[in-house]
A and B are shown apart, each in its own frame.
Chain A
Amino acid sequence: MGTPYFDYHALAPVIVLAAVALLALVVDFVWKDGGRRAVPQIAGIGMLLALIPVFTLAADGETRVMFGGAFVVDNYALAFAGFFLIVGYVAVLLSYDYIDEGDYYRGEYYVLLLTSVLGMVVLASARDLITIFVAIETVTLPTFVLAGWRKHDIRSNEAAIKYFIIGVLSSAVMLYGMSLIFGLSNSTLLSEIGSVAGGDNPALFAVAIFLTLAGFAFKVSAVPFHFWAPDTYQGAPLPVTAFLSVASKAAGFVAMLSVVALGFFASPNSWQPVIWVLAAASIVVGNLAALRQTDVVRMLAYSSVAQGGFILVPLAVSGDNDAARAGFQGVLVYILIYAAMNMGAFACVIANARRTRSTEIQSFSGLGRSNPAMAVVFTVFLFSLAGIPPFAGWFAKFVMFRAVLDAGTTAAVVLGVLAAVFSVVAFFYYGTVIRRMWFHAAVDLGDTGSPRVPGALVAAMAITTTVVVVIGVYPQLFAKIGDLAFRAT
């Protein structure tokens, strides 16, 4: 046995993120006063720096395999790595003023954020169970702490504790499932698990898959594993909520997608029904619960549960080889679009909460008159979430329905009909907020904050709006990314 083969070019995004996280920690510690301003800049620039090797690797186009197939850098991995880094950058923008103005630790906040993004980038390339598990833990553990960052607010404490306990429980369930899979296939590599596919014990393999998927379902807050989401989203600091609802959720989906596509694919009877039920339940419960919310963060929490259901739809119908490509692409495209529109929606909620010190839906009343630009932007994101053209959301839904039609089975059609019906239900709750903004007079909420929208938030809104509008108008650009990502697999 010689030294293992290291491809430093392929590892560069991860190495850059780790170096930046350590640098941020040291700068915050050594340079007390200046560090306050410097650390967020370092974190933001670090995310963009890590994007450079992602682009050079993509330009190179070569699939790089390390450690016998445990760590693979291909188009699929690069698409998600780039996506996670951009989301991380937007999260830094969202956090900048919020963390600066509150009574928080700044340096540590960005170090944790960077570590979480590092976990995601590793996850995108991980092709064996141990690497996947470690990467998921690296994604979620810093977010447990971030959810409780408002130390003196009891709701934030509750958010962190709930998220922590459920997160640890789901990790344990997932790990137990993975250990059974290892016991059956004698390997942690997804490719070898796929070729053995349970061997002589399909029944136990199915149980193991069920436990593993249940663990992922907690992470993506799919019904019936969603109970933590609304409370955690509401209690956590708002930028952290945005990060949780997009990035850590997307990480769960990426893990699910890798494991299903490469490991479990050969035995669709054991994973397809599980994902079908998760998708259907998430769509129904998420949308119905979102209808009754009066707080915009709780509404977005349930809406993200429902959107999670929509993301699972293509995966739930991709069981046979003909449908698989369209299905996996559908998941990928939906995740990327969902991230842009949900991040953007949270940017607007954060800006509005600065203005009114409230996250009640009624606090949006009259926004169309007092700040028309922001009202327009928020309307764009809500339209997009509802799936109304010409904003990106319609393309995500289109790709989802195309996957359903490609599959064409009864189960797929039933799920497609459910998705269609509840997409219409979703209009109502997104519409409530839009109506409030444009057709209601402002409500006097007493203590009001500053009406100015800070530059970092404007930048975050600009990035996400651009993505949502450009993809909505010219989706071919985006479809190409989906095509490229699945050329290799």
Chain B
Amino acid sequence: MWEQQVAFWVIAVAMAGAAIGVVRANNVVHAALFLIVVFAGSAAQYILLLAEFVAWVQVLIYIGAIIVLFLFGVMLTRAPMREERGKLDNSQRLASAVVALFLFGVLAVFLIDAFGGTELRFRDSMVEVGSAASVGDSIFRQFVIPFEVVSMLLLAALVGAVALARRD
């Protein structure tokens, strides 16, 4: 299983670096491009975990649709794309860094305590679980109510977005 370990760490480090890039970028477009790396990394992680269908959904929806929407949004609103260095800094960044590090520490300690040393063993039969067929089965059997409610939610989001954005 060492290949998977190596692949995991390579992807994880790349994702963490790109995520820092997202918040550090002074240019909105650069931030969006960094975000592509993060999303692609998580898609790759899903593949490592045999969740094939979810991985492709991640690529299609997040990279294919959401990032493109971001870029269109930046283009259409003609908002300034670039800010001067330091202008985006928040005066409370020290406090938030302390909170973030504290949370990270707490979660890391407890997660390692709970799952440290646990090894994932993949079998061929698990490939079936991540397939489109079984995901579709669980969406339309066990989770059909949340699925239908989400469609109302998305409709409301659409209606609301149009109502707020429309020029009148």
Which residues in A have some Cβ–Cβ distance to B below 8 Å? 1, 3-4, 11, 14, 18, 21, 25, 66-68, 70-71, 103, 105, 108, 111-112, 115-116, 118-119, 122, 130-131, 133-135, 137-138, 141-142, 144-146, 148-149, 151, 183-184, 201, 203-204, 207
- The residue that A130 contacts in the complex, of B111, B114, B143, B162, with Cβ under 8 A, is B143
B149–A4 contact, CB under 8 A? no
Kindly state the separation between the CA atoms of A115 and B159 in the bound complex, as whole angstroms. Answer: 11
A111 and B153 in contact, given A70-B142, A71-B145, A145-B163 (Cβ under 8 angstroms): no
List residues of B (106-150) whose CB comes within 8 Å of A's CBs.
106-107, 110-111, 113-115, 137, 140-146, 148-150
Query: What residues of B have a CB within 8 angstroms of the CB of A201 in the complex?
Result: 113-114
A184–B114 contact, CB under 8 A? yes
B110–A115 contact, CB under 8 A? no
Main secondary structure of the interface of A (DSSP, over half): helix
14 A-B pairs in the complex with CB atoms less than 8 angstroms apart:
A1-B137, A4-B142, A4-B144, A14-B149, A66-B145, A71-B145, A118-B149, A122-B149, A134-B146, A138-B152, A142-B156, A145-B157, A146-B160, A149-B163
Provide the B152-168 mask, 1 if CB < 8 A to any CB of A, else 0.
11011101111110001
- The residue that B149 contacts in the complex, of A111, A135, A144, with Cβ under 8 A, is A135
A67 and B152 in contact, given A151-B164, A204-B111, A207-B110 (Cβ under 8 angstroms): no
Query: What residues of A have a CB within 8 angstroms of the CB of B113 in the complex?
Result: 201, 203-204
B164–A148 contact, CB under 8 A? yes
Q: What is the number of contacts between chain A and chain B, taking CB atoms within 8 Å?
A: 98
Query: What residues of B have a CB within 8 angstroms of the CB of A1 in the complex?
Result: 137, 141
Which residue on B lies nearest to A66, using beta carbons?
Answer: B145
Query: What residues of B have a CB within 8 angstroms of the CB of A137 in the complex?
Result: 153
- The residue that A204 contacts in the complex, of B114, B141, B146, with Cβ under 8 A, is B114
B131 to chain A, nearest CB (A): 15
- The residue that B160 contacts in the complex, of A70, A71, A131, A142, with Cβ under 8 A, is A142
- The residue that B106 contacts in the complex, of A70, A108, A207, with Cβ under 8 A, is A207
Kindly state the separation between the CA atoms of A145 and B150 in the bound complex, as whole angstroms. Answer: 17
B153–A108 contact, CB under 8 A? no
A145–B164 contact, CB under 8 A? yes
A145–B160 contact, CB under 8 A? yes
| 10 A-B pairs with the lowest CB-CB distances in the bound complex, closest first | A145-B160, A115-B156, A204-B114, A134-B146, A201-B114, A108-B163, A138-B153, A204-B110, A142-B156, A4-B141
Query: What residues of B have a CB within 8 angstroms of the CB of A11 in the complex?
Result: 145
A118 to chain B, nearest CB (A): 6
Query: What residues of B have a CB within 8 angstroms of the CB of A149 in the complex?
Result: 163
Kindly state the separation between the CA atoms of A283 and B145 in the bound complex, as whole angstroms. Answer: 37
A21–B152 contact, CB under 8 A? yes
A115 and B114 in contact, given A70-B142, A145-B160, A207-B106 (Cβ under 8 angstroms): no
Counting chain B residues whose Cβ lies within 8 A of the other chain, the interface size class is 20 to 34
A141–B164 contact, CB under 8 A? no
B153–A134 contact, CB under 8 A? yes
B154 to chain A, nearest CB (A): 9
Kindly state the separation between the CA atoms of A184 and B168 in the bound complex, as whole angstroms. Answer: 51
A67–B145 contact, CB under 8 A? yes
Kindly state the separation between the CA atoms of A144 and B153 in the bound complex, as whole angstroms. Answer: 12
B39 to chain A, nearest CB (A): 16
Which residue on B lies nearest to A211, using beta carbons?
Answer: B107
B144–A108 contact, CB under 8 A? no
Kindly state the separation between the CA atoms of A452 and B150 in the bound complex, as whole angstroms. Answer: 42
B153 to chain A, nearest CB (A): 5
B157–A67 contact, CB under 8 A? no
Which residue on A lies nearest to B142, using beta carbons?
Answer: A67
Kindly state the separation between the CA atoms of A197 and B162 in the bound complex, as whole angstroms. Answer: 44
Which residue on B lies nearest to A68, using beta carbons?
Answer: B142
Query: What residues of A have a CB within 8 angstroms of the CB of B141 in the complex?
Result: 1, 3-4, 67
Which residue on A lies nearest to B144, using beta carbons?
Answer: A4
A207 and B156 in contact, given A1-B137, A122-B149, A130-B146 (Cβ under 8 angstroms): no
Extra contacts besides A131-B146, A134-B153 (17): CB < 8 Å: A4-B141, A4-B142, A14-B149, A71-B145, A105-B163, A111-B156, A115-B153, A115-B156, A116-B156, A118-B149, A138-B149, A142-B156, A148-B164, A183-B115, A201-B113, A204-B111, A204-B114
A207 and B107 in contact, given A115-B153, A122-B149, A137-B153 (Cβ under 8 angstroms): yes
A111–B164 contact, CB under 8 A? no
B111–A25 contact, CB under 8 A? no
A112 and B159 in contact, given A148-B164, A204-B114 (Cβ under 8 angstroms): yes
Query: What residues of A have a CB within 8 angstroms of the CB of B143 in the complex?
Result: 67, 70, 130-131
A203–B110 contact, CB under 8 A? yes
A108 and B150 in contact, given A71-B145, A148-B164 (Cβ under 8 angstroms): no
Kindly state the separation between the CA atoms of A377 and B168 in the bound complex, as whole angstroms. Answer: 38
A122 and B145 in contact, given A25-B159, A111-B156, A151-B164 (Cβ under 8 angstroms): yes
- The residue that B152 contacts in the complex, of A18, A105, A148, with Cβ under 8 A, is A18
Kindly state the separation between the CA atoms of A119 and B149 in the bound complex, as whole angstroms. Answer: 8
B95 to chain A, nearest CB (A): 14
Query: What residues of B have a CB within 8 angstroms of the CB of A142 in the complex?
Result: 156, 160
Kindly state the separation between the CA atoms of A470 and B128 in the bound complex, as whole angstroms. Answer: 59
B135 to chain A, nearest CB (A): 13
B42 to chain A, nearest CB (A): 13
Max chain A Cβ within 10 angstroms of own Cβ: one of B148, B156, B161: B156
A115–B152 contact, CB under 8 A? yes
Query: What residues of B have a CB within 8 angstroms of the CB of A115 in the complex?
Result: 152-153, 155-156
Query: What residues of B have a CB within 8 angstroms of the CB of A184 in the complex?
Result: 114
